[in-house]
Structure 1
Amino acid sequence: MSMQTIREVTENTATGTEEVSATTEEQLSAMQEIASVANDLSSMTEELQQSINRFKV
């Protein structure tokens, strides 16, 4: 293997690693957003349940 080939493989690997890292960060951000929305929905559910309980006979 020539030095040029090794350099190209190394550069391609580095580029691929950077792309994977960026994608992972995006996925983490999306998962955090989903968790936040789920918590908000849970709070809303509790509030709704309390409101419904006021009208139960």
Structure 2
Amino acid sequence: MALQLPQEEQALHAETFRRLTTFESLLARTAGTGRGLVDDVRDRLAAGGLTG
């Protein structure tokens, strides 16, 4: 027999999972942006466009 949570508590869990999924997506986008920034700076340094 499976234990069921009250509907209100289920709704709170669902909202928490939704927020975690949104947060995970934002972290992934931020990581991608950071990698792109590092790559751009690295390329400019290699081309002599920036000084260390």
Tell me the TM-score normalized by structure 1.
0.72
**How many residues of Structure 1 are paired with residues of Structure 2 in the alignment?**
46
Q: Relative to total residues, which structure has the larger helix share, 1 or 2?
A: 1
Is the radius of gyration larger for structure 1 or structure 2?
1
Q: Which has the higher contact order (CA 8 A, sep 6+)?
A: 2
Which structure 1 residue ranges, 5 or more long, are not aligned? 1-9
Name 2:16's counterpart in structure 1.
23
What is the RMSD computed on CA atoms of the aligned residues?
1.9
Q: Which runs of 4+ in 1 moved over 6 A?
A: none
Identity %: 7
Q: CA deviation at 1:41?
A: 0.4
